[in-house]
Amino acid sequence: MHIHFLDPYRPLVSPIHSLDSRAKFVLTIAFILTVSLTPIAAWPVYILLFAVILSVEILSGLGVWFVLKRASLALPFVLAALPVLFTIHGQTLFTVPLGSRVFTASVEGLERFVSIALKSWLSVQAAIVLSACTPFPELLQAMRAVGIPRLLVGMFGLMWRYLFVLVDEALRMMTARAARSGVEEGAVRKVGGSLAWRARVTGGMAGSLFLRGFERSDRIYTAMLSRGYDGEVRSMLLPPFGSRNWFVLIYGLAFLGFLLLFGILFFG
């Protein structure tokens, strides 16, 4: 099936794509950490951070629109931060009378809310660029290089390898369910059975998927054994980290450090 839509990697030729995955991984984490540590309402720093990520997006050839569209997916969570608008006391911005209670929005609350939304939006863009510019096997290499246990990285790799197979299975089950479920043209009565029945059907599908996973893992294990697997997760040696990567990494970290210092000194 056409399941490749799950893989966010976009194979392009760009300076960002050709950068070593370790440098990209560390710089992405550093960027997100910088965003997180930047004080509330440090607008100029946010703008500079946006400039950084925007430049990377343009350089990567992904297209700014592609990244911004994907970044909007994370926005609904902003609702969780909406109450701070009214609960932080400060200079009154506007009031919302709701029944017998009156909610007062403050300037400080607005600043905090907008800061949280911006921080989240900037961070998610960095993560999108990382996953769109780095093939997953290279991400695994980067994870191994920064010291994530080899076993765990091995499991991530195996999960990725069979994710498409099992998602395919799930999609086939859903197609089969849709095919079994006839819908009357211009139906008068409710179709689709009761809620409990629908949940039971879905649960049966989930159980079946789990079972197929179990059995497949058995077969995979046997296949691995027959190829000489002895419990050790072996992987290729990491390629050398060239001078260009060192340059980008050190320059990037220094720049982010400078931005953070700027933010804390003047807005902290």
Partner 1 sequence: MLYSPIQPMHIPDGFLSTLVSVVLWIISAAAVAYALRRVSRDLGERQVPLMGVLAAAIFAGQMLNFSVAGGTSGHLLGAAIATILLGPWAAVIVMTTVVSVQALIFQDGGLLALGANLFNMAVIGVTVSYFVYISIQKLARGKSWGIFVGGALAAWLSIVIASLACALELALSGTSPANIAVPAMGGVHMLIGLGEAAITVSALAFLYAARRDLFHIAEAPPKGSRSIWAGGLVIAALLAVLSPLASAHPDGLEWVAEQKGFLDAARGPFYNIIPDYVFPGISNEAFATIVAGIVGVIIVFGVSLGVAYMRRTRKT
Which residues, numbered 178-197, are part of the site for partner 1 (CB under 8 A)?
Answer: 192, 195-196
Question: What backbone phi and psi angles, to 5 degrees, belong to 12?
Answer: -135, 170
| CB of residue 156 to partner 1, shortest distance in Å | 6
**Residue 137 found at the interface with partner 1 (CB under 8 A):** no
Query: To the nearest whole angstrom, how small is the minimum distance from the Cβ of residue 247 to partner 1?
Result: 17
Burial string for 201-219 (b: 16+ CB within 10 Å, else e) reads beeebeeeeeeeeeeeeee
Q: Is 121 in the site for partner 1 (CB under 8 A)?
A: yes
Through-space distance between the first and last CA atoms of the chain, rounded to whole angstroms: 52
Q: Which is nearer to partner 1, 2 or 185 (CB)?
A: 2
Minimum separation from the CB atom of position 211 to partner 1 (A): 6
CB 31 within 8 A of CB 53: yes
Q: What is the residue-wise DSSP string for 205-261? A: HHHHHHHHHHHHHHHHHHHHHHTT--S----PPPPP--HHHHHHHHHHHHHHHHHHH
Q: Which member of 105, 128, 133, 256 binds partner 1 (CB under 8 A)? A: 128
DSSP 188: S
131 vs 141 by CB, closer to partner 1: 131
Which of residues 26, 68, 145, 201 is near partner 1 by CB under 8 A? Answer: 201
How far is the C-alpha of 146 from the C-alpha of 164, rounded, in Å? 27
CB atoms within 10 A of CB 147: 7
Does position 26 interact with partner 1 (CB under 8 A)? The reply is: no
CA distances from 129 to 34, 36, 38, 190 (A): 17, 18, 21, 45
Distance separating alpha carbons of residues 77 and 79, to the nearest angstrom: 5
What is the rounded distance in angstroms from the CA atom of residue 102 to the CA atom of residue 97? 4
Which residues 214-243 are close enough to bind partner 1 by CB under 8 A? 214, 216-217, 220-221, 224, 229-231, 233
Among 16, 24, 105, 120, binds partner 1 (CB under 8 A): 120
For partner 1, give the closer residue by CB, 92 or 222. Answer: 222
Least separation in angstroms between residue 192's CB and partner 1 is: 8
Q: Please, which residue, 198 or 239, has the CB nearer to partner 1?
A: 198
Please, which of residues 61-100 interact with partner 1 by CB under 8 A?
Answer: 61, 70-71, 73-74, 76-77, 80-81, 83-84, 87
CB of 187 to partner 1, least distance (A): 15
The stretch among 29-37, 91-99, 183-191, 242-250 that binds partner 1 (CB under 8 A) is 29-37
Quick one: 63 or 239, whose CB is closer to partner 1? 63
- Give me the least distance between CB of 195 and partner 1, in Å please: 7
Compare residues 195 and 240 and give the one whose CB is closer to partner 1: 195
Count Cβ neighbours within 10 Å for each residue of 49-67 and write b for 16 or more, e otherwise. beebbeebbeebebeeebb
Asked if 115 and 41 count as a contact pair (C-beta separation under 8 A), the reply is: yes
Size of the site for partner 1 (CB under 8 A): 101
- Sign of the dihedral through C-alpha 99, 100, 104, 110: negative
